[in-house]
Amino acid sequence: MDGSIRLEIEAGSGLFLVICRGMWSPEAAIIHFADMELALRKARGAGRPVRVLIDIRDSPPQTAESARTMEENARRLHLPSDRLAFVYSSALQGLQAKRAVSAAPTAYFDTMEAARRWLAEEPER
């Protein structure tokens, strides 16, 4: 599988940016979530809110095994206080992403701008 999952943390905003490209293996997802877990621990330890923007526009729907790895790790790592926004380009991508996260408030968008606006909003209490 020739895909990749890259994690960046934007300077200033602290926004977690996850960029997915191509088809990636369950092993690549496990490595990504190990990196994400360290970054989440640092952010939460510093009292920063966790806001994650996941760009899957250049990543087709994944294998069942890769999707299951994503679901299990997302459920394990994300808290109800986190906010996640997926940006996708096809209905199949969106359906797979909707199955991946259930613990945190999550929204789905077709543009990066709309996702960023939603992530910047203060959540309702």
- Of how many residues is the chain composed? 125
Quote the pLDDT of residue 1. 60
Quote the pLDDT of residue 96. 83
Say how far apart CA 92 and CA 73 lie, in whole Å: 21
Say how far apart CA 103 and CA 1 lie, in whole Å: 29
Mean pLDDT by 10 residues, the chain (125 residues): 89 92 92 95 93 95 90 91 93 80 85 96 71
State which amino acid sits at residue 107: A
Query: In the CATH hierarchy, which top-level class contains the domain 4-120?
Result: alpha beta
Quote the pLDDT of residue 125. 58
Quote the pLDDT of residue 124. 66
Domain boundaries, the chain: 4-120
- The pair of three-digit structure tokens given for residue 109, joined into one six-digit string: 């968008």
